[in-house]
Amino acid sequence: MEEYPHTSKGRSRPFLDVTHPEIRRYLRELHEHEVGVFGEMEEFARQINYPILDSLSGHLISILAWMSRFSSVYEMGSGFGYSASWFARGMNGKGRVTVTDISEVYIEMAKKNLRTLYPSLDVRTVVGDAIDHLRHDSEVHDCIFIDIGDKMLYPEAGRVAIERLSDGGVLIADNVLWRGKVVEPEPDEQTRSIRRFNEELMSRTDMDSILLPVGDGLLISTRKRPLD
């Protein structure tokens, strides 16, 4: 099998399912199996053991994109474009999605997948450090999605992301339950960083936040708007 950058092969973490397995099975049965490019991306991820967004989480962010009428989404960590494709689905294939990754191989795959699915979508690509790029980005965004591979960077990514959100913008972060490791009595460094990220977001008085046990945990946070 061809080798791809930074796959999780041989480095899988023990999984503590935050949803009862029977409930999880029931939820998956309610959703149709993804076909076409979505199905191909899911199969590709399975083949190379690459961690992607849970499909139920994908449905949720797509609905959020539709309800909130996102016109600009910035992803901090995109891989080959699976989560970005869910956002673009909710945006009806319009607006702008910025995909970032340290791998040029994956960025090219993300661009190809998005343009195949949504030819009218404005796809902006960034190869390199998403935090540094966003920090110096002149634009603000309706949604910023955090899924950086190095979870040690989550707290810093969250602080930078909040500064680049539009009024009423939404911050979404994946893996915030870290396969249940956030409840371990002696967490490792990456888990402590995720816990710090969660605590910082949930304690901010200028943001409304909720942590949902969907997939590997989604934290959704929006900047509070001034009362009329």
**For 47-83, how does the pLDDT look when each residue is reduced to its tens digit (9 = 90+)?**
999 999 999 999 999 999 999 999 999 999 999 999 9
Report all structural domains of the chain as residue ranges with CATH numbers, in order of start. Answer: 21-223 (3.40.50.150)
Report the C-alpha gap between 172 and 95 in whole angstroms.
Answer: 18
Burial 94-127 (b: 16+ CB within 10 A, else e): ebbbbbbbbbeebbebbbebbeebbeebebebbb
**According to the model, what pLDDT value does residue 34 have?**
74
For 71-103, give the secondary structure using H, E and C: CEEEEECCCCCHHHHHHHHHCCCCCEEEEEECC
Percentage of the chain surpassing pLDDT 70? Answer: 92
CA trace torsion 44, 90, 220, 160 (10° rounding): 80
DSSP 47: H
Per residue in 126-167, pLDDT tens? 999 999 999 999 999 999 999 999 999 999 999 999 999 999
Report the C-alpha gap between 102 and 149 in whole angstroms.
Answer: 10
Q: How far is CA 157 from CA 59, 146, 173, 214, in A?
A: 24, 7, 10, 21
Report the C-alpha gap between 157 and 144 in whole angstroms.
Answer: 10
**According to the model, what pLDDT value does residue 12 have?**
47
Q: Cβ distance 148 to 197 under 8 Å? A: no
Grouping H, G, I as helix, E, B as strand and the rest as coil, residue 226 is coil
Average pLDDT over residues 181-197: 96
Q: Cβ distance 95 to 71 under 8 Å? A: yes
Helix axis angle for 82-90 and 55-67, nearest 10°, is 30
Report the C-alpha gap between 58 and 164 in whole angstroms.
Answer: 23
Mean pLDDT of the chain: 92
Q: Tell me the H-state helices in the chain.
A: 21-30, 36-48, 55-67, 82-90, 104-117, 130-135, 154-163, 189-203
